[in-house]
Amino acid sequence: MGRGPNSAGTVAVSPAASGGGCRNSSANGWTIGSCVSENGGWAWPDFYVNVLGTDVDTAECEMQLIDQWGDPVSTSWWWCEEVGHYGPDRVAIRKGVHYYNRVTVFVNERRQVMLTAWSPQLTG
């Protein structure tokens, strides 16, 4: 389970991205804020656990930066058993490509999905 930066391979970067931000999602007692921002041609996905739901003692969160074609560009796993901030990861992005941060809360050894939260769109 990582808690550090996770970057993709070398790609052309964008000096002027747009969009991004945070969006809250709630289900099964959980509230997650999924976020993505850009700085210097890098995307910085992160998330906030605002409210803990059920089965918190087995909770794991998968954070993935997803491109406009639905492909994961980066993936990191976090123990998300406490309210707080997780991330960010640092991921190279391509100019003109749309990205989203997807955070999925799993419990019971990743056998059950409690919530999937999507950030607003970031355009490289």
Residue 35 is assigned to a structural domain of this protein: yes
Residue 1 is assigned to a structural domain of this protein: no
Q: Which tens digit of pLDDT belongs to each residue from 98-111?
A: 999 999 999 999 99
In percent, the amount of the chain with pLDDT more than 90 equals 83
Domain count, the chain: 1
The pLDDT of residue 4 = 35
Domain with 69, as residue range(s), is 18-123
Residue 31 is assigned to a structural domain of this protein: yes
Residue 60 is assigned to a structural domain of this protein: yes
The pLDDT of residue 13 = 35
Residue 79 is assigned to a structural domain of this protein: yes
- E strands present in 40-123: 42-51, 60-67, 72-79, 84-86, 91-92, 98-107, 112-118, 122-123
Residue 8 is assigned to a structural domain of this protein: no
Which of 15-19, 33-37, 42-46, 57-61 has the least mean pLDDT? 15-19
Residue 12 is assigned to a structural domain of this protein: no
Residue 96 is assigned to a structural domain of this protein: yes
Mean pLDDT value of segment 111-124: 96
CATH code for position 101? 2.60.40.10
Q: Output the pTM of the full model.
A: 0.85
Cis peptide before 88 (omega within 30 of 0): yes
